[in-house]
Amino acid sequence: MSYLAQKWTEYSRQPNPPRRFSGQREFEADWVGRLRRRYGLSQEGLAALACVSVTTVQNWENPLSRKNIAPHNQERLRDIERELWIKAHVTLLEPCPPHIRALYDLLVANKDSSAQGLAEYLLAMLPEGDTERARVLHWAALAHSIADPASPKARAYEEAALKALGSADNRLAAAIENEILGSHFEDLLAMAPGPERQEKGRWIMAACERLFDRDGQPAYLWNALEVACRAPLDAAERYRLVGRLNETLGEARVRSRILREDSYAAAREVWATDGQVN
Q: Which residues pair with 273 in a beta bridge?
A: 276
Span 40-86, pLDDT tens digits = 899 999 999 999 999 999 999 999 988 889 999 999 999 999 999 89
- Output the pLDDT for position 275: 44
DSSP string, 96-112: --HHHHHHHHHHHTT-H
- With bands split at pLDDT 50, 70 and 90, how would you rate the model's confidence at 15? confident
Rg (CA), the chain: 21
Mutual angle of helices 171-190 and 195-215, in 10-degree steps: 160
Across residues 95-122, what is the average pLDDT? 94
- Output the pLDDT for position 167: 67
Instruction: List the Cα angle 133/107/172 in 5-degree steps.
Output: 35
Please state, in angstroms and rounded to a whole number, the distance separating the CA atoms of residues 208 and 52. Answer: 38
**What do you get for the CA distance between the two ends of the chain, in Å?**
53
Q: Which residues contact 72 (CB under 8 A, 6 or more apart)?
A: none
Burial class, 195, CB count within 10 angstroms (exposed 0-12 / middle 13-18 / buried 19+): exposed
